[in-house]
Structures are given as C-alpha cells and as structure tokens.
Chain A
Amino acid sequence: MTTEHLDLESWTCPVPLRDSPTVLLGHGAGGRLSADLVEHLFVPSFGGDASALADAAVVDAGGARVAMSTDSFVVRPRWFPGGNIGALAVNGTVNDLAMVGATPLYLTTGFIVEEGLEVDELGRIASALGAAAALAGVRVVAGDTKVVDRGHGDGVYINTAGIGVVPDGVEIGPTRARPGDAVLVSGPIGMHGIAVLSVRDGLEFGTEIRSDCQPVTSLVSGMLSAGVDVHVLRDPTRGGVAAALNEIAASSKVGVQITERDVPVPDDVRAACGFLGLDPMVVANEGKVVAFVAESDAERALQAMRADPRGAGATRIGTVTDDHPGVVVARTGIGGTRVVDLPLGEQLPRIC
C-alpha cells in the first residue's frame, strides 16, 4: 500500500445519514453530526448551497443589504450561573448577525411553552429577554406563543429571528479566510459550557464560573471603525473554538495553525475540563468572537477589541496557512503537534 497524505474528504462515510434512522442528541450539538443533518437533509430541501453557510444570510432586499438569522434555544437548565434562556435567545441571534458585519436592529421571538410551566417563571424569562434586547440595542417587534401538552416541551423552547443591515463595503463571510491571516479570539474560552454543566443533573459541581453570555456587536463595529480588514467572524457556540476553526478552514479551503499555549482558558475552566475529561476547545461560548483578519491589521484589531470591556483578554491564537487545507493543527504545550478535529457530537464527561 502506498503512503499518502490524509485526504479528509474520504474519511467519512459517503452515504449521508445512514448512521441512524432516528435523530440523535448529537445531531444538535454543533459538530460533525449536525453538519451532516444540515448538509444532507435540510439544505437540499431548501435548494441552497451548503458550502457557504454562515452564521447569518446576507440578502438583497430592495437595494439594501440585509442580514437575517434565526436560532432556537433549548438550553437546560433554563437558569444557569451568568445567564438564562431569555438572555441567550437575544444574544445568540444578535451575535449571529454581528458575525457578518451587520448592525442588528430587530428581533422576532416565538415561545413554545409546555403546559404547566409556572407563569411566574415565564414572566422572568420574558423580562430577561427584554432586558437583554435593550442592552443589545435591538427591538423585539413581533412574537408568537404556543402551548403544548404537558410532557411535550421541556418547559419552554424559544426561537428568535433577527435582521440587521450590513454597511456598504463590508464583506465578511466564512469563505474569505486567506493564507497569512491572523486568527484572533476576543477573550477567554469555555465559560458558558462549563457554567451550564455545573448545574446539570448528575454532574453538578460547585464553581464560580459564569456564562459569558453577552452581545459582541460592539467588538465587531469597533474593529470595523478602526479600519481593520476583517475577513471572517464566527461566534464559537456549540462545538466551541474547535468547531468554528474547522468550519472556516473547510469553507475557505485553508489550513489553520494555532498555538495551544496562546489559547486563553481561565484556570477554573481548565480545572473543570480536567475534572470532567473535556477539551476546552470544544466547550461552548456565548459571548466571544473568533476573527480572521489581514495579518497587517492584527495588532489594530486586538487593540480595538481590548478597548472594549467585552473584549478584555483578546489575543492572537494562530495563523492561516496554505498547508493542509481544511485541517486545523495545534502546536501542543510541550512542542508536539496535534490535529484539532471537528467534535463529533455531544461532549460527554469521561472516566478514562
């Protein structure tokens, strides 16, 4: 047998979705299984092009460049250190719009409420949602509520859809990374995912870690105002920084090299990950940006982010290369290398 360089395309099963006739939890986890569902089931049905999927779509609406995005929120438990499902519902969609350089303007929200949910709690969620919208500078202009039978809704599910306007001259999208680009992250990673796990049944542990749930619009507009040539933006939610980097590497057909020691992980997040056997790179974030910018603008971009309290701790973690297109490689703490893969599905704590 000849030795050949790895061809990633050939490594996964060519027959889509033969894994499971029923939808698995992993299909929603933001990793390879989710990508499969989108690429092989949804996009073909909607007549779209799977290769250019971004956080938000930029469409021409009567001459204006409008960004649109939608997201649904099913987080459990609904209340966790540093956040709740209501705030998440706003910031998740606001951030998706910001990732294509849009100024988020309006949101709609749909609630699917399970019969029996305490009205008090629904009120608190709505309040939190409203407060988050005000903080993010967006208005909720339309909504819908449905109630489903007890046992069919896990308390409450929320969907938000948002629109924003993309300024002229701004072209940010997942296919735009170029060799030589600097890879930046706006701050420490892993906080949201660990905060939620810490209050989940069967795994509870005591911690000061709070979700980083926040809007990152100002970080994006800060960079754009400073004249930074921003190529790609991604908020590393489900699947973490690992998923974000892999998706961009694949969309732009470039390689990404990062240095593990430069990836900012708070000590207590690292401890929690060590304790549960998780890789911080795959843990979800809800208030961070991964940015690919022109190399010459790297310093300027970092300064712009650090000037904003939401971007404290912004730092460079790597570089785009034309080596190993589609693959993300990390230099390890002790000087070796490893491939950072797209996470498979649900991240489960392990004993091994």
Chain B
Amino acid sequence: MCLGVPGKVEQIWDVEGTRMANVDFGGIRKEVCLAYVPEVEVGDYTVVHVGFAITKLDEESALETLRLFSQIGALEEEFGTPFTQ
C-alpha cells in the first residue's frame, strides 16, 4: 500500500491558507499539497502520496543509509568469501 514517491519541491504558493507546490519527480511535475509539511521549502525533497506531501525526505539520512549498505559485508570481503546461495 501507500505508493509514496520522493520528489523535489520547485515552487510554493498559497491558496487561501493552504500551501501548494510544484514537485518534480525525475522529470514529471505534479501539483502537491504541502499542508502537512510546513517545514518543507523550495529545493527540499518530500515523499508524496496521492497528491499530498506526508514527510520531508531526510537527504543526509538517505545518503548515510546507502553508505551503510555499501559497507555491509566489506569485512568479509577482506577476510573471506561471503556465504552465497
């Protein structure tokens, strides 16, 4: 469930008190409601579900997670072959 896709906020405007934005998803642009993410600004990444931003995407955390993945098994590589199926 919950197809939530990360996109980059490009422009923000206000519609009678509700913050709306143009969000870029790798070349696809869609209007998104930012009402739930008051801390998100232009240039930030946010996770969008059915036209609503539900959280700011923590870019540092994303990069750290990828870095951790690349470290997994690194020790085994030095000292022995990984166990594979």
Tell me, yes or no, whether A and B come into direct contact in the complex with CB atoms closer than 8 A.
yes
| Chain A residues close to B by CB (< 8 Å) | 198, 205-209, 267-268, 270-272, 274-275, 277, 350-352
Least CB distance, B29 to chain A, in whole angstroms: 3
Known pairs A351-B49, A351-B50; A270 contacts B2 (CB<8 A): no
Known pairs A351-B49, A351-B50; A207 contacts B3 (CB<8 A): no
> By the criterion CB–CB under 8 Å, are B1 and A206 in contact?
no
Q: Which of chain A's residues has its CB closest to B26's CB?
A: A271
Instruction: List B contacts of A267 (CB < 8 A).
Output: 26-27
> By the criterion CB–CB under 8 Å, are A206 and B26 in contact?
no
Least CB distance, B27 to chain A, in whole angstroms: 3
> By the criterion CB–CB under 8 Å, are A206 and B29 in contact?
yes
Known pairs A274-B25, A275-B25, A351-B49; A206 contacts B3 (CB<8 A): no
Task: Beyond the given A275-B5, A277-B3, please list 5 additional residue pairs across the A-B interface where CB-CB is below 8 A.
Answer: A206-B22, A209-B27, A271-B27, A275-B25, A275-B28
Instruction: List A contacts of B28 (CB < 8 A).
Output: 198, 205-207, 268, 271-272, 275
Instruction: Select one of B2, B22, B26 contacting A268, CB under 8 A.
Output: B26
Q: Which of chain A's residues has its CB closest to B27's CB?
A: A268
Which A-B residue pairs are the 3 nearest by beta carbons?
Answer: A271-B26, A206-B29, A268-B27
* Interface range on chain B (Cβ under 8 Å from partner): 10 to 19
Least CB distance, B7 to chain A, in whole angstroms: 8
Determine the distance from Cα of A351 to Cα of B2 in the docked complex, in whole angstroms: 6
> By the criterion CB–CB under 8 Å, are A207 and B2 in contact?
no
> By the criterion CB–CB under 8 Å, are A352 and B1 in contact?
yes
> By the criterion CB–CB under 8 Å, are A275 and B50 in contact?
no
Determine the distance from Cα of A207 to Cα of B26 in the docked complex, in whole angstroms: 10
Instruction: List B contacts of A271 (CB < 8 A).
Output: 25-28
Least CB distance, A105 to chain B, in whole angstroms: 39
Least CB distance, B79 to chain A, in whole angstroms: 24
> By the criterion CB–CB under 8 Å, are A205 and B26 in contact?
no
Determine the distance from Cα of A275 to Cα of B47 in the docked complex, in whole angstroms: 11
Determine the distance from Cα of A352 to Cα of B50 in the docked complex, in whole angstroms: 10
Q: Which of chain A's residues has its CB closest to B50's CB?
A: A351
Instruction: List A contacts of B1 (CB < 8 A).
Output: 351-352
> By the criterion CB–CB under 8 Å, are B26 and A270 in contact?
yes
Known pairs A351-B49, A351-B50; A207 contacts B27 (CB<8 A): yes
Interface hits, B1-32 → A, CB 8 Å: 1-3, 5, 22, 25-30
Least CB distance, A306 to chain B, in whole angstroms: 25
Determine the distance from Cα of A205 to Cα of B49 in the docked complex, in whole angstroms: 14
Least CB distance, B12 to chain A, in whole angstroms: 16
Instruction: List A contacts of B25 (CB < 8 A).
Output: 271-272, 274-275
Determine the distance from Cα of A206 to Cα of B22 in the docked complex, in whole angstroms: 9
Instruction: List B contacts of A350 (CB < 8 A).
Output: 3
Least CB distance, B28 to chain A, in whole angstroms: 5
Determine the distance from Cα of A209 to Cα of B30 in the docked complex, in whole angstroms: 14
Known pairs A271-B25, A275-B25; A351 contacts B3 (CB<8 A): yes
Instruction: List B contacts of A351 (CB < 8 A).
Output: 1-3, 49-50
Instruction: List A contacts of B22 (CB < 8 A).
Output: 206
Determine the distance from Cα of A179 to Cα of B56 in the docked complex, in whole angstroms: 50
Determine the distance from Cα of A268 to Cα of B24 in the docked complex, in whole angstroms: 11
Least CB distance, A5 to chain B, in whole angstroms: 22
Instruction: List B contacts of A352 (CB < 8 A).
Output: 1-3
Q: Which of chain B's residues has its CB closest to A203's CB?
A: B30
Instruction: List A contacts of B50 (CB < 8 A).
Output: 351
Instruction: List B contacts of A198 (CB < 8 A).
Output: 28
Instruction: List A contacts of B49 (CB < 8 A).
Output: 351
Known pairs A351-B49, A351-B50; A205 contacts B3 (CB<8 A): no
Provide 9 A-B residue pairs closer than 8 Å at the C-beta atoms, listed in order of the A residue: A205-B28, A205-B29, A207-B27, A208-B27, A268-B26, A272-B28, A274-B26, A275-B5, A351-B3
